[in-house]
Structure 1
Amino acid sequence: MRHFSVIAALLAAALLAGESPAQSPEAPDPVDALKECRAITRDADRLACLDRVSSAIVAAAERGDVHIVTQKDVEETRRGLFGFSLPKLKLFETDREDGREPFDTLQSEVASARRLDARTYVFKITDGGATWQIKEAPARFVGPKPGDRVVFKRAALGSYFIRINDQVGVKGRRID
């Protein structure tokens, strides 16, 4: 089963209640509404409830008020936004109960690269086209080239350790 995002659930719940999110922060979750419908034992009543709730969700989606987001969509978005500070939304949190690791590393490939001076490199990666910068690279550092494998690991104060082709990690940051 595909998962609703928190945002979609809140918007759909507000639409089911007939009020805006600002007016009703305690509006029922559309998944909870569907569960309540499924719990109805009388077939005709259950079908009527499911029709009513699903019609409200479909209508909201057709208006563009609600978007159903799959786990794959969330992962692609997280990969594309890696390196930026994200707002504290449940949509971007990692669910450790399902066995996934926290999203603090990213593996990608260098799409393009250029050297700005003896110790500074700027390069784009294939995942979302993000641009990264390495400043103060050590003298023995071999700069990035298109096709190189790159691994980013979250470090302190918004910086990242960047490893290109298994070299020693160097400090860098995302610049776009």
Structure 2
Amino acid sequence: MRTRYQKDFMKKHGTKLGLMSPFVRAAAYALQETPVVNAVIDENEIIYRHFVDMSIAVATPKGLVVPVLRNVESMNYAQIEKELAALGEKARDNKLAVEDMEGGTFTISNGGVFGSVFGTPIINPPQSAILGMHGIFDRPVAINGKVSIILPFLDLLIISSQVYEMVS
């Protein structure tokens, strides 16, 4: 579907349609529906946020950084793509300020861009959760005694045990 609309999207919005913006939009929606996952921990208190400031892991030559997309719940796909591109460029040019990486309420880490098929992302305190995404590759599986090829997609949502204990 992305391939089908790529040219029209670029023509209309002046930016490419990537794979992250649908996940960012879906996560923002889910976070608004499940406030505890969008919360941050301050000492022994859960602080609920009524906005979604999404941290996005970005690989740079000097290592991984996690800049923040502010108020992502009010962004459309084009705005998300433009902001992701701008933050990614800023990160790769080593021009991120501390303020660019502070205040995230939730993180998405996409190891799939490096070919990962599984991994456990690490929560960025004081956030209460992180979503780890992985690559989609042909894999053989046994179905009814026969080997079939599937394209599994693995996402892993990790929620802080401290948050879990505080709301249980």
**What band does the TM-score fall into relative to the shorter chain?**
under 0.3
Question: How does the TM-score come out when normalised to structure 1?
Answer: 0.19
Instruction: Kindly indicate whether structure 1 or structure 2 has the higher relative contact order, using CA contacts under 8 Å at least 6 residues apart.
Output: 2
TM-score between both structures, scaled by the size of structure 2: 0.19
Report which of the two structures shows the higher radius of gyration computed on alpha carbons. 1
